[in-house]
Structure 1
Amino acid sequence: MSLDERAPTVARTVSPPVPARGPTPRPAKAVVVIAPLSLTIALGLWGIRRQNTMWGDESVTYQLAHRDLSQIWLTAQHIDLVHALYYAVMHEIFALFGGGLLTLRLPSVLAMSVAASGVGLLALRLAGPRAGLLAGLVFPLLPQVQKYAQEGRSYAMVCALVTWATCALVAGVPHRARWRWAVYGSTMLLACLFHEFAVLALVAHGVTLIVSRVPRPVLKAWSVAAAGVVAGLLPLAICSAGQSEQVSWIGGPVRLRYFLVVAVVGVACARTPLGARGPVRLSALAVPILVLPGLLLLTASLVKPLFVDRYVLYSNIGIALLLGAWMDYFHRRQQSSRNAWIAWTAAVAVLAALVPPSLALRTPQSRSNDATAIGAAVRKEGRPGDGLLYLSGQQRILTAANPGDTRFLTDLALAQDPVSSNTLAGIELPAQDIAARMLDFDRIVAVRAVGVHSPTDPQEEAKTSTLRRHFREYGTTHVNGARVTVYVRDHDPSAKDGPRSNSLGARGGVMR
């Protein structure tokens, strides 16, 4: 064989073809949906019973959802009209699955899981699969999301509805099909009917479209849908305006730390060039929904205090989108293994920092009160035949979830119970009758909420003045959110032991 004949063979042996390096694998769409949903369910089920306790707002849900639908509607004419739809839904859920503590909270876990999947899909559409997976996994790790995923209130459901309405908005911009805008409008209206302040997300959506400079037909379609939402919400808003006293508890220093932190972090993330897919940019969607609802509530609070962070829980959609897209951007820009090591170290540090608040959120002390512990303290301190007094009468809801705690005590101020009067706390006797009934008892167990402004109506003045003139404190039990005090008349033989005071842990009796 000649040299010329051997040359091609040698060339192939010495320089074999090098296979081309393929692109970094990206998560499939199914993973973007399933992984966030699974993580949210796992975190939601972790410690969901909170040592078998519930706090005051959950106690209201528990009580009202056990009433008939007609009773729920009649009660809503007096108070809590803004939550009437949620109570009706929970009534049906209780009817199907039983009215226990797990049934009270599981709907919120499932709703937040659906919201996490929606966040993942939003980021996938706007910034790609990896950003979608990261945003969907960040969302359930946020402290506020973990907290309200385990709470028997409407906020998780509102968050899920706003998330999927936002998905419908983003999908409707390029396609412009009427049915997509009908889905968007109906989903937003349902969210607003669950809680009126969901309408602030509608404002954020409008700003997103304006900033994105979408075509005029798109703005027109959104305007028609938004007008339908406002028209559908208007009757509820007008009727509930007459119940504005139910938010009279909002006052004092506004808790802004969480809102300010996530707003600053979100805006900082938005300064980087995040995903640019389609006519709506991710930052143009995420920043308004993160900042505007809370900012509008704060502005309204200059006239009347209204800012409570859970009212705009859905603003966490924005920070999850921005963090997920920013991490994807950092991953794509990393040039060395050192950068990757730094990124992983930072991620581990953040996860480690989330462990203490995650553990704390699953304790009874994580809420402003513990209705179960309050009821247990009343049961422990009261004797059969003692009088029972609530300071004020609205605090009756704190022991109503478990009637066994007060079964052997006489409610001294109650004229008509909550169920028959279609109210949350019942109707109380006139002031002079309350004072007269108090003087018929030698021992009175009084429940007083901590950190709650007490009204100055005649009934409350009669209670406090009668206790001050004719009774003396025998002992006080401190529980999370309340004090349970035993008062005795001077001629009561039990007073010879002298006053006493103790503290009952936040964990009370087991919910029945």
Structure 2
Amino acid sequence: MTASVADRDRHLDPETAGSTAAGRLTGGARALLTRAVWLWPALLTLALGVRGSWRPQLWRDELATWSAATRSTGEMFDMLKHVDAVSGLYYLFMQGWIGLFGDSAAVMRLPSALAMAGAAVFVTLTARKVFDDRTALFAGLLFAVVPSISRYAQEARAYGFVVLAVSAATWLLLRAIERPVLLRWLPYTVAVAAAGLFHMVSLLFLSGHAVIVFFQWRRERNRKLLTGFGASVLIGLLPVVPLVLIGQRQVGRQISWLETPWLQTYIEYWHNLFGSALVSGCFLVLAAIPGGWARHRQRVFEIGTVAVLPIAISWVLSHGPSVYFFERYQLYTVPAWCILAAAGLNSLRPRILGVVGLVLVAAIGIPDQQKLRTSVSHEQTDGRRAAQVIADRYRPGDGFAPIRGDDKWMMIDLEIRYYLPDRVKLKDVLIAKDAIERGDLFASSCPVPADCLGTPRIWVVAMGDGEDPLERFPKKQAAALRASYEQTEIKHVRGLTVALWERTSD
């Protein structure tokens, strides 16, 4: 009978037995680290996502999230009928989140940081499945230090969830094509649906997945691959169809501001995709290295399609009636670029050069990482300071007249209201219905401005730093204010002018 390990150790001298036990512990720790290679990228991604997330002021897209998610469910659905239906699932999630944890900037951004950390897990697991443990660790750490990943890990929008869904879908696809059975296709179907429900444009990732399935089928001639993939995609798209139909009616309001891209557009797009011109250059160089490997060329090509095809297709489609070529709309391709770049790092010899390269990429991105955490990194206006100016001189019954008109898209009204303390209750003058009453993100203007004025004092907030805050107001609104009020105070904060107008005596 073979002696147990413990029995063998009893016959060793203490020093030898201790060394043997230490060896077993070291081996066990090494095995644990290998199995949990995804843990370190996830922790680093989360740490960078949370770090300084309270500092940048909310910008207009995040304010839209706050506005939608703090409504009742019925009010939210009324809004989604008219605008932002494509963000409905995210708004519903954030409604519950804010109800539980509050609406501070850091709290509202935390789900995105957690989602990006989850994406780091799947980036690492995918790289390990395609290449090896070392490449996997490189891929996950590269993902964590990409400035744009930190940027959208600190934003109260759905982009982190999209990156998570697509990253999970890629790993789940690789598992499914290894053994194409129902239990492996089901989670892939869920990931496809989630990606589409969080952002319809992200479904372009299926083009790269289709290439992977085709090459696997060509090698094996297994019809289960084609039927399983096709059925999973079709079922996954079913819940997205109603969203597409509603979104088509709203597309003019959602993305009409995007311009048709041309070849020169790609340069700025590429830099913004990574959040840094220098980091994006590093990725181009590193991703090109494994393309020359004969041994891994097929794998590199397949992952490359996941990175390249959605970008190329979105560029082509954007020459049609709607434009989809926008870097944050294709942020979900960054994980594939990280895997390609990691393969490049792992190919460097001597092997220490891979570590040096990783450190250099991280170091090059530090200045851009720092910029992401300044007060102005999300928005150029200082709504917090403007709100403080109003709060310091507030009197009960004061009115509020933020600039709207052609500048309503800046959501100055929401920006000020978000930062006002609870004790300050301003009556929004110059509007007929507020955004909630309209089932929209924007209020409707009073048709006869003079009839809507009545408060003794009105706080006017306008864009810029001019001495006439009414200069960009609609003419009828400006005339009504000038006829009955006079400006008694004016203060300039970054990007905004705050002025107090008081009623003149008749």
- TM bin, normalised by shorter chain, reads 0.7 to 0.9
Match status 1:486 vs 2:499 = yes
Q: Which amino acid aligns with 1:239?
A: I
CA, structure 1 residues 406+257, in 2 after alignment: closer, same or farther (shift >3 Å)?
Answer: farther
Which residue in the other structure is 1:462 paired with? 476
CA, structure 1 residues 157+387, in 2 after alignment: closer, same or farther (shift >3 Å)?
Answer: closer
SS of the residue corresponding to residue 48 of structure 1 reads coil
The separation in 2 between residues aligned to 1:27 and 1:127, in whole angstroms, is 19
Q: How far does residue 426 in structure 1 lie from its aligned partner after superposition?
A: 2.6
Kept in 1, the 8 Å contact 2:165–2:191? The answer is: yes
Match status 1:50 vs 2:55 = yes
Q: How far does residue 137 in structure 1 lie from its aligned partner after superposition?
A: 1.1
* Aligned residue runs from structure 1 range 95-114, under 5 A: 95-114=99-118
Q: Which TM-score applies when normalising by structure 2?
A: 0.77
Q: How far does residue 234 in structure 1 lie from its aligned partner after superposition?
A: 1.4
Which residue in the other structure is 1:167 paired with? 171
Kept in 2, the 8 Å contact 1:413–1:434? The answer is: yes
Kept in 2, the 8 Å contact 1:50–1:362? The answer is: yes
CA, structure 1 residues 424+221, in 2 after alignment: closer, same or farther (shift >3 Å)?
Answer: same
Q: How far does residue 464 in structure 1 lie from its aligned partner after superposition?
A: 5.6
Match status 1:78 vs 2:82 = yes
CA-based RMSD: 3.5
Offset from partner CA, 1:150-191 (integer Å, 9 cap, x none): 111111111111111111101111211122112211211112
SS of the residue corresponding to residue 447 of structure 1 reads strand
CA, structure 1 residues 343+317, in 2 after alignment: closer, same or farther (shift >3 Å)?
Answer: closer
The separation in 2 between residues aligned to 1:149 and 1:274, in whole angstroms, is 37
Match status 1:297 vs 2:314 = yes
Kept in 1, the 8 Å contact 2:382–2:493? The answer is: no
CA, structure 1 residues 399+347, in 2 after alignment: closer, same or farther (shift >3 Å)?
Answer: same
CA, structure 1 residues 195+447, in 2 after alignment: closer, same or farther (shift >3 Å)?
Answer: same
Kept in 2, the 8 Å contact 1:185–1:229? The answer is: yes
Residue 362 of structure 2 is aligned with which of 351, 361, 364?
351
Q: How far does residue 247 in structure 1 lie from its aligned partner after superposition?
A: 2.2
Which residue in the other structure is 2:184 paired with? 180
Q: How far does residue 434 in structure 1 lie from its aligned partner after superposition?
A: 2.0
CA, structure 1 residues 460+491, in 2 after alignment: closer, same or farther (shift >3 Å)?
Answer: closer
Q: How far does residue 87 in structure 1 lie from its aligned partner after superposition?
A: 0.9
Q: Which runs of 5+ in 1 are unaligned?
A: 1-24, 451-458, 493-512
Kept in 1, the 8 Å contact 2:462–2:498? The answer is: yes
Kept in 2, the 8 Å contact 1:389–1:413? The answer is: no
Q: How far does residue 387 in structure 1 lie from its aligned partner after superposition?
A: 4.8
Which residue in the other structure is 1:225 paired with? 232
SS of the residue corresponding to residue 486 of structure 1 reads strand
Q: Which amino acid aligns with 1:415?
A: A
* Aligned residue runs from structure 1 range 300-379, under 5 A: 300-303=317-320, 304-330=322-348, 333-334=349-350, 340=352, 345-370=356-381, 372-373=383-384, 375-376=386-387, 379=390
The separation in 2 between residues aligned to 1:435 and 1:374, in whole angstroms, is 29
Q: How far does residue 40 in structure 1 lie from its aligned partner after superposition?
A: 1.2
Q: How far does residue 194 in structure 1 lie from its aligned partner after superposition?
A: 1.2
Q: How far does residue 268 in structure 1 lie from its aligned partner after superposition?
A: 1.5
Which residue in the other structure is 1:416 paired with? 433
Tell me whether 110-119 or 300-309 shows the greater mean CA deviation.
Answer: 300-309
Q: How far does residue 320 in structure 1 lie from its aligned partner after superposition?
A: 0.8
SS of the residue corresponding to residue 302 of structure 1 reads coil
Q: How far does residue 39 in structure 1 lie from its aligned partner after superposition?
A: 1.1
CA, structure 1 residues 421+312, in 2 after alignment: closer, same or farther (shift >3 Å)?
Answer: same
Which residue in the other structure is 1:4 paired with? none
Match status 1:390 vs 2:407 = no
The separation in 1 between residues aligned to 2:391 and 2:100, in whole angstroms, is 34
Match status 1:209 vs 2:209 = no
Among all aligned residue pairs of Structure 1 and Structure 2, give the percentage whose two residues are the same amino acid.
25
Q: How far does residue 371 in structure 1 lie from its aligned partner after superposition?
A: 6.4
Tell me whether 414-423 or 70-79 shows the greater mean CA deviation.
Answer: 414-423
Match status 1:240 vs 2:218 = no
How many residue pairs were aligned? 447
The separation in 1 between residues aligned to 2:318 and 2:484, in whole angstroms, is 42
The separation in 2 between residues aligned to 1:93 and 1:470, in whole angstroms, is 44
Residue 462 of structure 2 is aligned with which of 447, 455, 460?
447
CA, structure 1 residues 315+374, in 2 after alignment: closer, same or farther (shift >3 Å)?
Answer: farther
Q: How far does residue 382 in structure 1 lie from its aligned partner after superposition?
A: 6.9
The separation in 2 between residues aligned to 1:441 and 1:241, in whole angstroms, is 45
